[in-house]
Structure 1
Amino acid sequence: MVQPATTGAPLDMYVMLIGGTLMLLMMACGIVIFMVLYQRRMLEHRIRIQEAEAKHQRELFFSAMDAIEQERKRLARDLHDEVGASLSVMRLMVNELPTRPQITTVGYKQLIDNIIENVRRISNDLLPQGLEEFGLPYAIESLCEKVAAVAGIDINLTIVIPEQPGNTQSLAVYRLLQELLNNAVKHAEATELTLSIRKENTFLYIKYADNGRGFDFVEAYQKRSLGLKNIEARTRLLNGQTRFVTSPGAGLRVDIEIPDL
């Protein structure tokens, strides 16, 4: 009699079971290795981002410090070259009075008027005229009028600020707008610009656009353009965000969003 082959079936089952287990172990190992490599790559990427952000923050900090230092140097220069020189001339004129009594007071009055005007201008640079007394909108309007008169730029200004920010914040916003307009006068070669300042809820939105010559933003930023860095640094000091849109021959557009103002 021929016996049925019953021993082969359990053997095949054991082989399949062991093979399946090995395949599951290999898949599990593959998944673990993939997750480890993925987490490592993500960690390296996060570290690179943090290093880039830290470098960017350092650049903005030094840019803000450089802007402050440049402002101090300019004020020191104005005091020395204009006020200091005028006072020195007045001292010489006073020393000559005993020997030249015929000197009229016209020259003295003109010199004193010049000193008063210079001191008033320097004082206005330190604290914009009317900012504390009449508020930020008044100070911005005065600034735009001066820029338009001096540079011959047609400025289309819109201000919607229902509630007056604090003095410190108002001064910071004023300096930011001053930097924008200085950039237009010095570099943009613009004849027209639009400036909109709107406060909605707790956010202040600043939109700037000019018809100037524009520039390659990436190239200018890599060259560490002081104007761009100053605008961005002053915005960061207010915890805000800045977006530049420009290209050669297409003017410049700047969108600024400042929270909690």
Structure 2
Amino acid sequence: MSIVHDITERKRMEDERINSKLTQQKAILNAILDTQEAERKRISEALHNGLGQLLYATKLQLGDMHPEKPLEKELQTSIDNLLNEAIKETRQLSFELMPSILRDFGLEAAIEEICKRVSSSKIQLQCEVLGLKDRLDEILETAIFRICQELLNNIIKHSQATEASIQLLNQKTKIVLRVEDNGIGFDPEKLDRTGLGLSSIRNRLQLIDGTLDIESEPGQGSLFTIKINKNKLK
């Protein structure tokens, strides 16, 4: 009997040690991600309030000029076009770093906005969000939004897709995110060689006890499914 008790006690102590280590790892990872988000916010505000305002002021001053020579008018138009592109890129960078729409209006609005921004003549992106009448926890909203960003960036950079879709379902016991494309696909067994770099996604999922399932094969597109157990978040 004492031997059985000793084995049970050892197992209990080992389980406690493992759980303690996992808790410490999560705390460290959470601190790293919090620091990253704070830095993104700082840079986003600097782009919007600093560089963005300078570019816009330059554009206004350029508009006050009234060149008479054709070459000068052509140069003014060219500079104005470049400033418009610079302002557009600055706003896009600011949005990607820290979208105010996520903070102010929530995950559904932010995902719909990113779908509008990504859709172009090269790729059509469809978006469906169901069951998000109420706001989610801020950490959870940020994690899901960043995961969407990362997966969409991978689709744009690597998949050669012409169509893609995001589906976010807020169900009773879980949250399900599906991101699919009709691109060139890949072998999931050779994922480390594709350059997709899913480590940041896995890190975020580790914090919110989520899972990632990948379905793909060469020439058949890809489907990424994220599942988050809401009961574990309580």
Query: Shift of residue 142 of structure 1?
Result: 3.0
* Cα distance in 1 for residues equivalent to 2:202 and 2:166: 17
Name whichever of 171-180 and 242-251 sits farther off: 242-251
Count matched residues: 214
Supply the RMSD in Å over aligned alpha carbons: 4.8
**Aligned partner letter, 2:212:** F
CA offsets per residue over residues 34-93 of structure 1, 9 Å max, x none? 321332244234424543x246426734762685488579869989xx979979xx6xx9
Query: Shift of residue 235 of structure 1?
Result: 4.4
Alpha carbons of structure 1 residues 116 and 205: separation in structure 2 relative to 1, 3 Å: same
CA offsets per residue over residues 126-150 of structure 1, 9 Å max, x none? 4537556765434322312433427
* Cα distance in 2 for residues equivalent to 1:248 and 1:59: 33
Q: Which runs of structure 2 are paired with 1:119-198 in the superposition (5 Å)?
A: 119-128=90-99, 131=102, 136-149=107-120, 152-153=122-123, 155-165=125-135, 168=138, 172=142, 173-187=144-158, 192-198=163-169
Query: Shift of residue 203 of structure 1?
Result: 5.3
**Aligned partner letter, 1:242:** G
Report the equivalent of 2:211. 243
TM-score under structure 1 normalisation?
Answer: 0.55
Are 1:213 and 2:186 matched, yes or no? Answer: yes
TM-score under structure 2 normalisation?
Answer: 0.60
* Cα distance in 2 for residues equivalent to 1:50 and 1:209: 37
Report the equivalent of 2:26. 57
Are 1:228 and 2:198 matched, yes or no? Answer: yes
Alpha carbons of structure 1 residues 68 and 169: separation in structure 2 relative to 1, 3 Å: closer
The secondary structure found in structure 2 opposite 1:149 is coil
Task: Flag structure 2 segments of 5+ consecutive residues without an equivalent.
Answer: none
Alpha carbons of structure 1 residues 45 and 175: separation in structure 2 relative to 1, 3 Å: closer
Alpha carbons of structure 1 residues 210 and 243: separation in structure 2 relative to 1, 3 Å: farther
The secondary structure found in structure 2 opposite 1:179 is helix
Larger radius of gyration: 1
- 8 Å contact kept, 1:243–1:256: yes
Of 26, 32, 36, 2:2 maps to 32
Give percent identity, aligned residues only.
20
- 8 Å contact kept, 2:43–2:97: no
* Cα distance in 2 for residues equivalent to 1:49 and 1:253: 29
Task: Flag structure 1 segments of 5+ consecutive residues without an equivalent.
Answer: 1-30
Alpha carbons of structure 1 residues 37 and 170: separation in structure 2 relative to 1, 3 Å: closer
